[in-house]
Amino acid sequence: MSDRLFIFDTTLRDGEQVPGCQLNTVEKIQVAKALETLGVDVIEAGFPVSSPGDFNSVIEISKAVTWPTICALTRAVQKDIEVAAESLQYAKRKRIHTGIGTSDFHIKHKFNSNREEIIERAVAAVKYARRFVDDIEFYAEDAGRTDNEYLARVIEAVIKAGATVVNIPDTTGYCLPDEYGAKIKYLTDHVSNIDKAIISTHCHNDLGMATANTMSGILNGARQAEVTINGIGERAGNTALEEITMILKSHHEIKIGTNINTQKIYPVSRMVSSLMNMPVQPNKAVVGRNAFAHSSGIHQDGVLKNMETYEIIDPRDVGIDDNSIVLTARSGRAALKHRFSVLGVELSQDKLDEIYGQFLKLADRKKDINDDDILVLAGANRSQNRRIKIEYLQVTSGVGVRSVASLGLNVAGEKFEAVASGNGPVDAAIKALKKIIDRHMTLKEFTIQAISKGSDDMGKVHMQVEYNDQMYYGFGANTDIIAASVEAYIDCINKFVK
């Protein structure tokens, strides 16, 4: 391998910004440790000035991981930079990621400023950040829509001021691959001191071109790629780590390698999806449930004769191990613990005992327990300290009759009951719930997803409820889809009831 691409993971910053994907500090540490095992070079751990929670997470992640550089985001504002520097105090390797919008659109509408003043602010921010750390990354927000000649002037100035990495974000996901690649080439050719910094790509997927744009940037000289696990991120998401890594691994002729241990890709993907309650689309490249499933007879025949007939990636190279997913009611704690550790989840003995009890109950209802099921159990375990819990739920429904639900809730230790009829079982159950918890809530989104296959499968429900002009996201998982729906609704309510 003649050249090296640095992988900058922003799952915990750009990814975590997605509504409904917020993690607590313990969960962020879990993801950060998994990213370290995966082999990423840089972990963007948060935007410390944005909230005490983000600040604290950067501190704790810095303590918890050893090898990757820990990066904290700031605006080109002194206070942000001071707070970021403080949050990085325990990091063994640290980086401040500061920047400002450079497109005429940002300059005029966001800053009510002009091009020269923006260069001055960018330079001042980099110089100020250099007082605290040596490794400074500068981002030119909306670089995708920034005029190349002006962008080159900005980049030259910030490198002169001490930036060691220059990030060229396609913030809106607008660029075409040729255009983005040409932008990187333009900077390589026209920034006189470009050899003193690494060029980084940061692409969004609004038009489905994030991976193509990132590859085009790499092929034109970028040597850092900013990515997230499963491509999660604002709006349509960011470039997916697993896609860039596997493209470079599969296309030997490109001769650019990464430090990623690809066999950890699938477990980390499952962990992030489960902790963030963000399902991976079944046909998602590399990590989707169907990515290696061949249904047509011709394909199956071909793959059985020689895997390479239709598969360009060996599933084992990304950590998919078909023999591993058999957990049943007869599996012991050791088997469950082993499976969790393969998935990157380390549990204390107490936690394991607790989850094992739930695992046995689930195994009574469901024949084979898969990775998603146990990750959901670990997730359910995290949210047990909530104020409102279901005591019981019974629903009768059928064709030609109205559904009726009786629901018992435990609200902070007090028991409440209600019965309601509705237009279908979920409607009846939610109406019963609303009789007990009487608030002006509006259901805005309701998604049901079966985790894998089989009529005894777990169902996952994602919900969005509006209350007091604010949106709350909830999640529920149960072999009973009506119960999962009520759990998801309660998860929303638990986020705003005091």
For ligand KIV, the binding residue among 128, 139, 472, 475 (CB under 6 A) is 139
How far apart are alpha carbons 498 and 437 in whole angstroms?
A: 13
Q: Does 9 bind Zn ion (CB under 5 A)?
A: no
How far apart are alpha carbons 361 and 358 in whole angstroms?
A: 5
Nearer residue to ligand KIV within complex by CB, 169 or 476 = 169
CB of 167 to ligand KIV, least distance (A): 6
CA distances from 458 to 36, 93, 320, 449, 453 (A): 31, 42, 21, 9, 9
- Tell me if residue 295 falls in helix, strand or coil: coil
CB of 166 to ligand KIV, least distance (A): 11
Closest to 258 (Cα-Cα) out of 246, 272, 270, 240: 246
For ligand KIV, the binding residue among 69, 102, 171, 205 (CB under 6 A) is 171
For Zn ion, the binding residue among 14, 16, 60, 137 (CB under 5 A) is 14
Q: Which stretch binds ligand KIV (CB under 6 A): 163-171, 174-182, 205-213, 389-397?
A: 163-171
* Residue 228 DSSP one-character state: B
Encoded amino acid at 422, one letter: G
The site that binds Zn ion (CB under 5 A) totals a number of residues, namely: 1
How far apart are alpha carbons 186 and 251 in whole angstroms?
A: 25
Strand segments (E) across 324-402 = 388-396
CB of 26 to ligand KIV, least distance (A): 25
CB of 227 to Zn ion, least distance (A): 11
- Site track 223-252 with ligand KIV (rule: CB under 6 A), x = hit: ------------------------------
Q: Does 169 bind ligand KIV (CB under 6 A)?
A: yes
Residue 141: contacted member of Zn ion, ligand KIV, none (CB under 5 to 8 Å, by partner type):
ligand KIV
Residue 139: contacted member of ligand KIV, Zn ion, none (CB under 5 to 8 Å, by partner type):
ligand KIV
Nearer residue to Zn ion within complex by CB, 209 or 433 = 209
Let me know: does 246 contact 222? Beta carbons within 8 Å: no
Nearer residue to Zn ion within complex by CB, 73 or 260 = 73
Residue 404, strand partner residues: 396, 421
3-state secondary structure 229-287: HHHCCCCCCECEHHHHHHHHHHCHHHCEECCCCHHHHHHHHHHHHHHCCCCCCCCCCCC
Closest to 373 (Cα-Cα) out of 266, 472, 316, 453: 453
Q: Which stretch binds Zn ion (CB under 5 A): 6-14, 330-338, 401-409, 423-431?
A: 6-14
- Interface residues with ligand KIV (CB under 6 A) are 14, 139, 141, 167, 169, 171, 202, 204
